[in-house]
């Protein structure tokens, strides 16, 4: 096929959106059929949360003379940082790998590969005889995180009925928070055991094994199978037959063979329209053209603001803020983490229950507004009102709550549904890389920024970024509630 003519494609956008709106509607589904295709990919995300929670306790255990169980417990701050952040840099590597292997492996096999990396990384870390091996295990586990956070949202979005796609992808965020809570709990449970850090890291392995078995049992994404057929990477008849069978398994008893074949044909026709005049292989530069650029601006912007509105820094101040308010629970870091984790989980569930009712934009706009107000309150507290600690506590809870009903779950939801199917695998690897890269930059820059301008202006800076994020959402982010993935692509083309 020749190079894409984006001007012609964009002129066809409005008519294509109308055609899809008339002809494309998901059929019925049963929750029993939907549950497992959601659950096993979501476990892949929950292990990311588990790593965050378990590492907080493991960092204390591995550096303790009494608890480490090693003769190399005297770690420098840099060495401790490598243990704590090793999985983050592994995730960056996993995101880069995903760009080249994701479309070949498919969503299902990529999640299974992530599970193998989880198992290997957890076991290497837990059994490590030296610090070097610990860091190596953390990097391997992080590669699993990068692959999982890339593939899991895609698999859920591509297999979920459009009526509840937002609920399910957002619920994945709730499982990440639940995984974080589990990690905090395991850390609290094993914190006084000699060598407890080995158990904290190793506990992820059996969870990952269950995930791998579950994904092996599930079918491939029907949309990915049809994309392979459109690209000529297999027998068209065989791949369409596999896609129809996958539709039946994913929808359950309400989906007859005839209904599955009908949905397969509709998706097939939509893909042919979308790929008409396109090159078969997706190039890196194509991600920055036409509808792909529009989608990348939305998805990349959301994951950028997810981190640069200051989430790591605000949560860094959680302990001293609660201590200043006289909460005795703040004396115990593990109990404090569990407390905040429960609150994050509750607010994430609020988002899950409303994302397919209210839509993505209202939650993002409301959340970004609340984030900005809470950051302003924190800057006022640190500059003028340190004698009123309950102001800081209120600001902290407002921040966490607003983040968890907006950028927390909805950023991952929208990057899973905003990209055209043909470029989705590679485009989502770019946004995953932006997310983890932004996380690393914020974590690295926080301490120097605090030393340079102080606490007050640190939160002023994050507040200004919050205002920019609000303007970005209002002017750039489309509403995708209730639309099929093909209708979302047509909507972007029509703009």
Q: Per-residue pLDDT averaged across 291-306, rounded?
A: 90
Helix %, strand %, coil % of the chain (to 5): 80, 0, 20
pLDDT tens-digit map of 422-434 = 787 788 888 888 8
Dump pLDDT digits (tens) for 196-241: 999 999 999 999 999 999 999 999 988 888 888 877 788 888 988 9
More confident residue, 97 or 454: 97
Average pLDDT score over the chain: 82
pLDDT at 182 exceeding the cut of 70: yes
Q: What is the mean pLDDT of the segment spanning 251-258?
A: 74
Cα separation of 435 and 431, whole Å? 6
What are the tokens at 248? 């039946």
pLDDT of 328 higher than 70: no
Mean pLDDT is lowest, of 144-158, 345-359, 420-434, for: 420-434
Which domains are assigned to the chain? 31-220+284-491 (1.20.1250.20)
d(CA 45, CA 144) in angstroms, rounded, equals: 10
464 falls in which pLDDT band (50, 70, 90)?
Answer: very high
Among 105, 146, 106, 117, CA closest to 433: 146
Distance, in Å, from the CA atom of 287 to the CA atom of 104, rounded to the nearest integer, reads 18
| Residues 6+ away with beta carbon under 8 Å from 319 | 330, 333, 336
46-60, 166-180, 194-208, 237-251: range with highest mean pLDDT: 194-208
The span from the CA of 452 to the CA of 446, in Å, is: 10
Residue 232, burial from CB neighbour count under 10 angstroms (0-12, 13-18, 19+): exposed
Q: What sign for the dihedral angle of Cα 177, 48, 155, 437? A: positive
Average pLDDT over residues 307-318: 71
Confidence at 337, pLDDT banded by 50, 70, 90: low
Share of the chain above pLDDT 70, in %: 84
Task: Encode pLDDT of 99-134 as tens digits.
Answer: 778 778 888 999 999 999 999 999 999 999 999 999
Tokens of 416: 């899973």
How confident is the model over 41-45, as a mean pLDDT? 92
DSSP state of 255: -
CA atoms within 13 A of residue 231's CA, in its CB half-sphere: 16
In this prediction, residue 320 carries a pLDDT of 59
Query: Does position 404 have pLDDT exceeding 60, yes or no?
Result: yes
Residue 331 scores a pLDDT above 70:
no
11 pLDDT more than 50: no
Structure tokens at 97: 């790998």
């Amino acid at each position: 096929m020749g190079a894409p003519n984006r001007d012609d494609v964009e002129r066809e956008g409005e008519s294509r959106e109308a055609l899809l709106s008339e002809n494309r509607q998901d059929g019925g589904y049963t929750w029993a059929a939907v549950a497992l295709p959601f659950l096993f990919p979501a476990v892949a995300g929950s292990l990311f949360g588990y790593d965050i929670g378990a590492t907080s306790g493991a960092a204390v255990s591995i550096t303790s003379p009494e608890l480490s169980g090693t003769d190399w417990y005297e770690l420098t701050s840099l060495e401790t940082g490598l243990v704590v952040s090793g999985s983050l840099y592994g995730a960056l590597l996993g995101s880069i790998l995903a760009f080249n292997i994701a479309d070949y492996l498919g969503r299902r096999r990529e999640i299974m590969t992530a599970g193998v990396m989880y198992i290997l990384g957890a076991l290497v870390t837990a059994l490590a005889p030296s610090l070097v091996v610990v860091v190596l295990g953390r990097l391997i586990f992080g590669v699993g995180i990068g692959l999982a956070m890339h593939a899991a949202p895609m698999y859920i979005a591509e297999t979920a009925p459009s009526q509840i796609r937002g609920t399910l992808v957002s619920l994945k965020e709730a499982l990440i928070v639940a995984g974080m809570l589990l990690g905090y709990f395991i850390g609290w449970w094993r914190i006084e055991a000699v060598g407890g850090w080995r158990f904290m890291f190793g506990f992820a392995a059996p969870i990952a094994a269950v995930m791998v078995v579950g994904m092996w049992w599930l079918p491939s994404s029907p949309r990915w199978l049809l994309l392979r057929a459109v690209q000529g990477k297999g027998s068209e008849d065989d791949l369409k037959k596999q896609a129809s069978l996958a539709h039946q398994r994913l929808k359950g008893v309400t989906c007859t063979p005839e209904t599955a074949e009908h949905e397969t044909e509709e998706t097939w026709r939509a893909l042919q329209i979308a790929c008409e005049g396109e090159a078969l292989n997706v190039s890196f530069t194509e991600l920055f053209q036409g509808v792909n650029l529009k989608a990348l601006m939305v998805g990349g912007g959301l994951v950028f603001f997810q981190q640069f509105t200051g989430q790591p820094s605000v949560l860094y101040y959680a302990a001293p803020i609660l201590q200043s308010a006289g909460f005795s629970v703040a004396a115990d870091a593990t109990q404090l983490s569990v407390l905040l984790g429960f609150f994050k989980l509750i607010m994430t569930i609020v988002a899950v229950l409303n994302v397919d009712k209210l839509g993505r934009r209202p939650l993002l706009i409301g959340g970004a507004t609340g984030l900005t107000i809470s950051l302003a309150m924190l800057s006022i507290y640190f500059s003028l009102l340190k004698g009123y600690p309950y102001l800081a506590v209120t600001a902290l809870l407002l921040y966490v709550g607003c983040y968890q009903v907006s950028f927390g779950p909805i950023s991952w939801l929208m990057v899973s549904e905003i990209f055209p199917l043909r470029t989705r695998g590679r485009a989502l690897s770019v946004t995953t890389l932006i997310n983890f890269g932004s996380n690393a930059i914020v974590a690295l820059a926080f301490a120097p920024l605090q030393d340079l301008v102080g606490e007050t202006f640190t939160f002023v800076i994050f507040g200004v970024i919050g205002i920019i994020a609000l303007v970005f959402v209002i002017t750039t982010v489309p509403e995708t509630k209730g639309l099929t993935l093909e209708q979302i692509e047509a909507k972007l083309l029509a703009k």
